[in-house]
Amino acid sequence: MTNIRIAFQTSCLLLATGLFVLVQAQQMGMTRLSADNSFKLAGNWKNAQRVLMHPQKANFLKIEAGNGILVGTAGANAQTTLGPEDLMVELEFMLSPSGQANVLLPGGYAILLNDSWQNSKMDATASGSIGGVAPLQNAQKAPGLWQKLRLQLRQARENKPAQLEQMLLNGVLVQENIVLKTPTNAAADNSLQLVAQAGTVAFRNVEYQLLKEAKPLSLTGLSYQLYKDWSEKTEQLTPDKRIKQDTTSVLTQEWGIGMRNYSVVYEGKMNAQEQGLYIFELAYIGHMTFEIDGKTLVTAQWNEFSQKPVVQTVALSKGEHRFRLHYHCTPWRRPALGIFVAMPGIRPYALHALSSLPEPEPIPSMTVVPHGRTEMVRSFVQLTNEKGKRTHALSIGSPLGWHYTLDLNRASLLQFWKGQFADVTEMWYERGEPQLLKPLGLTIPTKGQTDLAPLVDTAAPWPDSVAEITYKGYRLDPAGNPAVMYRYQETELTDALAANANGLTRTVSVNNALTMPFYVRLAAASSIVQVEKGLYEINNQSYFVQIDPKAKPILRTSNGQQELLMPLLKEVRYSLIW
């Protein structure tokens, strides 16, 4: 029986703080600090263009001379001064085995970066801890891999303490809304410091954005029309269904209180105090059409704001801009309408009346938890770079915390991840749409093509799929790990992945000789570099592939990407480390 955990959640906090908008603004308004001249350096720092570390060997270090990366050892400190405003920071870091560093934010708040890759328990020694508060889960990668830290800090003001509003480690939320105590030895300046504590550490791509409290856009000249009508399309609203029209000073859906279904159409002006990019977050339940200066940004789009706010970015000149908004409330959901706006460097704020966007109804969060045994879930899966769903996906969760998804149609490893296993809310809540399983931890996606293929020669392009490879089921080992079986011509292929202390080990085998050269593709990426015999870093040090040092893989470039292949004679075995 599958272990299911059900909790209730809402997204009112995200909407109230406008974090969706802020992420959009961040991507357009970050300032990059030069590793060469933006920091005051103390201690043992070196500048590098490239650095290689090993996941198991603490003293393994290869540095390619150049600029862009700071590489330091214990006691090294890199410091730069920022402004007093609220702050967003994004940076990449790498640690050696047992490596440790601190990122000191303005005010002296220390974020711990630690080689807690294999920690089974989350405590204040885990990477992502701040002020003694442990991270929500272990999102730390293996030593020798580049990792990304992104955070948003609200500075202390008046009688309010500082607050870490959000922190993501390798794309995983690890801290949220943490009230910070001012350290007793905090510096009085507004410095950002990178401090090496142990082992070897490296930093690159350090970016920041200062956040101001301002309101550069306002609404004026508002008028509205209220319709008792089922239609979500503005052009289908008819005068005989109009029950009220008037001017107003507020934007709200509440004109229709007491009605089961209705439409409100707003027209008015947006006054932009400065030219630039404006980011709108539309949070609503029902349908919406949104136009600015006659350009339609959203057309009768259905949405449930508790899950999927709609974000649109618009370049506006200074001055007035006409807008029209049509909100259509449906009878089976509580009405809600909100618009947040932000600019790069400016915090999001609401254009709507507070009461127009009530706290959303809680929805269950359904997760599968592999307690003491391996869990398997059949589902649809959708990769971020694909429009269509993968309909024959099997996801396997291990109690050791290493998980993966197979596409059984293509004999493909679609993704692998560590941490918590799977969110299945969209599969089982209400009608189960869109029936997608979502990984809950640090996820590495693949190219999504088949991993097994015959090639006429080693220069032949790798196929997306092989029609002759057909899925024939699976069998379980004593630990509950599945070995998936495929058929190619008269040969049975077995694909088995098992979790271990360091990640996943994959074994592909055949029961008899193949009639033509057959290969297993271990990795395909923009870059594949040999660290040492048997160890390769993949996709600019996103993860490692480890094989027998005596093996003779084929490293080739094909169709604009690099590929690591192994001929399948009887068995191919390799490990994924991340």
**Calpha distance 141→538 (Å, rounded):** 13
pLDDT at 5: 73
Residues 60 and 176 in one domain: yes
Q: Looking at the predicted structure, is the pLDDT value of residue 10 above 50?
A: no
Task: Provide the β-strand partners of residue 497.
Answer: 506
Q: Are 403 and 474 found together in one domain?
A: yes
Count up the domains in the chain and report the number: 3
The answer to whether position 362 is within a domain reads no
**Residue ranges of the alpha helices (H) in 396-440?**
425-428
Provide the pLDDT for residue 155: 92
d(CA 456, CA 442): 37
* 24 domain-assigned: no
Q: Are 159 and 113 in contact (CB under 8 A)?
A: no
- Write out the two tokens for 20: 């969706």
Percent of the chain with pLDDT over 90: 81
Do both 49 and 163 map to the same domain?
Answer: yes
**22 by DSSP, 3-state: which?**
helix
Measure CA 299 to chain center.
Answer: 27
Local confidence band at 577 (pLDDT 50, 70, 90 cut-offs): very high
Which residue among 211, 228, 263 closes a domain?
211
Asked whether residue 397 falls in the same domain as residue 505, the answer is: yes
The DSSP letter of residue 59 is T
Give the CATH number of the domain where residue 257 resides.
2.60.120.260
Residues 253 and 178 in one domain: no
What pLDDT was estimated at residue 11?
45
Is 390 part of a structural domain of the chain? yes
Q: Report the C-alpha dihedral over residues 253, 256, 261, 267, rounded to 10 degrees.
A: -50
pLDDT single digits (tens) 48-79 = 999 999 999 999 999 999 999 999 999 999 99
Whether 240 and 200 map to the same domain: the answer is: no
439 pLDDT tier (thresholds 50, 70, 90): very high
Residue 535 belongs to domain spanning: 367-577
Residue 16 has pLDDT above 50, yes or no: no
Q: Which pLDDT does position 362 carry in this prediction? A: 79
| pLDDT confidence of residue 23 | 58
Kindly report the backbone phi and psi dihedral angles of residue 514, in degrees, each rounded to the nearest multiple of 5, phi listed first. Answer: -85, 150
Clarify whether residues 221 and 204 are in a common domain.
Answer: no
What number of CA atoms fall less than 13 Å from residue 80's CA on the CB side?
17
| Domain-terminating residue out of 168, 194, 211 | 211
Can you tell me the mean pLDDT for 319-336?
Answer: 93
Asked if the model's pLDDT at residue 493 lies above 90, the reply is yes
Can you give the pLDDT at residue 285?
A: 92
Each residue of 98-133: pLDDT tens digit?
999 999 999 999 999 999 999 888 899 999 999 999
* pLDDT tens, residue by residue, 144-203: 999 999 999 999 988 899 999 999 999 999 999 999 988 766 655 789 999 999 999 999
* pLDDT, tens only, 226-264: 999 778 888 889 999 999 999 999 999 999 998 989 999
Residues 57 and 177 in one domain: yes
440-458 residue pLDDT tens: 999 999 999 999 999 999 9
* Rounded-to-integer distance, Cα 227 and Cα 257, Å: 12
Judged against a pLDDT cut of 50, whether residue 544 lies above it is answered with: yes
| CATH classification of the domain holding 191 | 2.60.120.560
Q: What is the pLDDT of residue 194?
A: 98
Evaluate whether 69 touches 51 at the Cβ level (below 8 Å): yes
Task: Give the mean model confidence (pLDDT) for residues 351-358.
Answer: 95
Dihedral angle, C-alpha 159, 161, 166, 167, nearest 10 °: 160
The partner residues of 402 in beta bridges, in order of sequence, read 418
Q: What percent of the chain has pLDDT over 70?
A: 94
Count other Cβ atoms within 10 Å, centred on residue 213.
Answer: 10
pLDDT at 159: 85
Q: Note whether 122 and 259 are same-domain residues.
A: no
**Overall size of the chain counted in residues:** 578
Query: Could you give phi then psi for residue 21, rounded to 5 degrees?
Result: -60, -40
Residue from 406, 340, 395, 336 nearest 370 by CA: 395
Whether residues 168 and 49 share a domain: the answer is yes
Q: What is the mean pLDDT of residues 10-22?
A: 47
Task: List pLDDT tens digits, range 258-313.
Answer: 898 999 999 999 999 999 999 999 999 999 999 999 999 999 898 876 667 899 99
Query: Residue 475 burial by CB count (10 A; 0-12/13-18/19+): exposed, middle or buried?
Result: exposed
Quote the pLDDT of residue 13. 37
At residue 367, does pLDDT exceed 50?
yes
Contact 362, 40 (CB under 8 A): no
Residue 542 sits in a domain whose CATH number is 2.70.98
Q: Is residue 74 part of a domain?
A: yes
State how far the Cα of 108 lies from the Cα of 189, in Å rounded to an integer.
9
pLDDT given at position 333:
83
**What pLDDT does 214 receive?**
95
- Using CA atoms, how far residue 289 sits from 271, 298, 358, in Å, is 20, 5, 20
Mean pLDDT calculated for residue range 467-475: 96
Q: Is 236 helix (H, G, I), strand (E, B) or coil?
A: helix
What does the CA dihedral 119, 124, 130, 133 come to, rounded to 10 degrees? Answer: 110
DSSP state of 356: G
Last residue of a domain, one of 155, 179, 211: 211
**Preceding amide of 434 cis, omega within 30:** yes
Q: Is residue 72 part of a domain?
A: yes
In this predicted structure, the answer to whether residue 14 has a pLDDT above a threshold of 50 is no
**What is the model's pLDDT at position 21?**
56
Q: What is residue 360's DSSP assignment? A: P
Asked if residue 11 belongs to a domain, the reply is no
Both tokens of 486, joined, read 């495929």
- pTM greater than the 0.85 cutoff: yes
Structure confidence at residue 134 as a pLDDT band (50, 70, 90): very high
Instruction: Answer whether residue 239 is part of any domain.
Output: yes
Burial annotation 54-74 (CB, 10 A radius, 16+ → b, else e): bbeebebbebeeeeebbbbbb
117 in a structural domain: yes
Same domain, 420 and 442: yes
Mean pLDDT of the residues in the chain: 92
235 plus 318 within the same structural domain: yes
